[in-house]
């Protein structure tokens, strides 16, 4: 609707309607400033069916923002490109690198962008904007670029490596988030928050001067979080007086109830089909 900023979750681990499918992935459809931004594309399995069910026309995509290069955020790119469109793509250059999830016994799991997708992006280099610093997408939507890792209690959230032997840890330098200016305050969208929720919010606050946030929506990667990290994350959400906390995807099923308990009036579990709207800036 005119005068609104809208976020629709297209793909997630959970769904809020029986006609929608789920997968281990995340994708959001963002409408702001008359533009339509696809934030991540999930694994790609549920994107065609869910967009059809939700009435989302990917042919109208003006821009794509990739939070990072993991398979569960980039797998739907081929389907988007099949629409015959050439949206501007905002991504960190490191998003195309190989990476692995370390298992108890080899072979370890490739979790990076599929090689054929990386090749298709290489062929679209003219459409790519490298997000090596905070980058403006529309008048009121920005990509953070790399997020400084300042906290001592936050790590990437899992056993992530850049080599198949799992000897060199992956710092996931390509991790980034979105922030949007709305008439009600700043909204932050997270892909996986591999940089840490606190690091991400602190960075957006430093860049924008914000002392509070209207909403934080997305994956928080707290499944394996220590008690200290979880407590510090809760403290940060309180410190920034977040009015809407909508965790999903990699946040962790055991963590969702904790957030709901700590923020009974502000926490809403998100899933495929969830829609959030805020008043647009003039």
Domain positions in the chain = 4-276
pLDDT for 271 equals 97
CB 188 within 8 A of CB 200: yes
pLDDT for 268 equals 94
What b/e sequence results for 230-258 when a residue is b if at least 16 CB atoms lie within 10 Å of its CB, and e otherwise? bebbbebbeebebbbbbbbbbbbeebbeb
- Distance between CA 203 and CA 213 in Å, rounded? 12
- Distance between CA 138 and CA 260 in Å, rounded? 32
pLDDT for 246 equals 98
Residue 1 pLDDT exceeds 60: no
- Mean pLDDT to the nearest integer, 18-33: 97
Residue 2 pLDDT exceeds 80: no
Counting residues of the chain whose pLDDT is more than 70, the rounded percentage is 99
Residue 138 pLDDT exceeds 70: yes
- Mean pLDDT to the nearest integer, 113-139: 97
Q: Could you give the count of Cα atoms lying within 13 Å of 206 in the half-sphere of its Cβ?
A: 11
CB 234 within 8 A of CB 254: no
Residues 6+ positions from 99 with CB-CB distance below 8 Å: 69, 70, 110, 111, 112, 160, 161, 162, 170, 172
Q: Would you tell me how many other CB atoms lie within 10 Å of the CB of residue 78? A: 15
- CA-closest candidate to residue 12, choices 189, 243, 224: 189
Mean pLDDT score of the chain, rounded to an integer? 96
Domain 4-276 in CATH: superfamily?
Answer: Ribonuclease Z/Hydroxyacylglutathione hydrolase-like (3.60.15.10)
pLDDT for 105 equals 87
pLDDT bucket at 13, cuts 50 / 70 / 90: very high
Residue 282 pLDDT exceeds 90: no
Per-residue pLDDT tens for 96-108? 989 999 998 889 9
């Amino acid at each position: 609707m005119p005068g609104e900023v809208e976020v629709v979750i297209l793909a997630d681990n959970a769904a809020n309607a029986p006609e929608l499918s789920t997968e281990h992935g995340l994708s959001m459809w963002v409408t702001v400033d008359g533009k339509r931004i696809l934030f991540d594309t999930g694994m790609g399995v549920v994107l065609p069916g869910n967009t059809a069910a939700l009435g989302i026309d990917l042919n109208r995509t003006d821009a794509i923002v990739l939070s990072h290069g993991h398979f569960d955020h980039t797998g739907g790119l081929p389907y988007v490109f099949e629409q015959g469109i050439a949206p501007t793509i905002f991504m960190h250059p490191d998003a195309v690198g190989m990476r692995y999830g370390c298992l108890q016994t080899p072979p370890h799991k490739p979790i990076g962008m599929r090689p054929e997708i990386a090749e298709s992006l290489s062929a679209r280099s003219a459409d790519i904007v490298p997000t090596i610093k905070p980058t403006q997408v529309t008048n009121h939507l920005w990509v953070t670029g790399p997020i400084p890792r300042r906290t001592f209690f936050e790590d990437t959230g899992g056993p992530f490596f850049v080599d198949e032997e799992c000897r060199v840890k992956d710092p996931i330098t390509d991790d980034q988030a979105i922030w949007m200016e709305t008439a009600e305050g700043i909204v932050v969208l997270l892909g996986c928050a591999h940089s840490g929720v606190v690091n991400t919010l602190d960075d957006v606050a430093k860049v924008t001067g914000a002392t509070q946030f209207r909403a934080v929506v997305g994956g928080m990667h707290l499944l394996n979080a220590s008690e200290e990290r979880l407590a510090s994350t809760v403290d940060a959400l309180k410190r920034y007086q977040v009015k809407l906390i909508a965790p999903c995807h990699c946040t962790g099923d055991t963590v969702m109830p904790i957030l709901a308990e700590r923020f009974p009036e502000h926490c809403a579990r998100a899933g495929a089909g969830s829609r959030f709207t805020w008043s647009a800036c003039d």
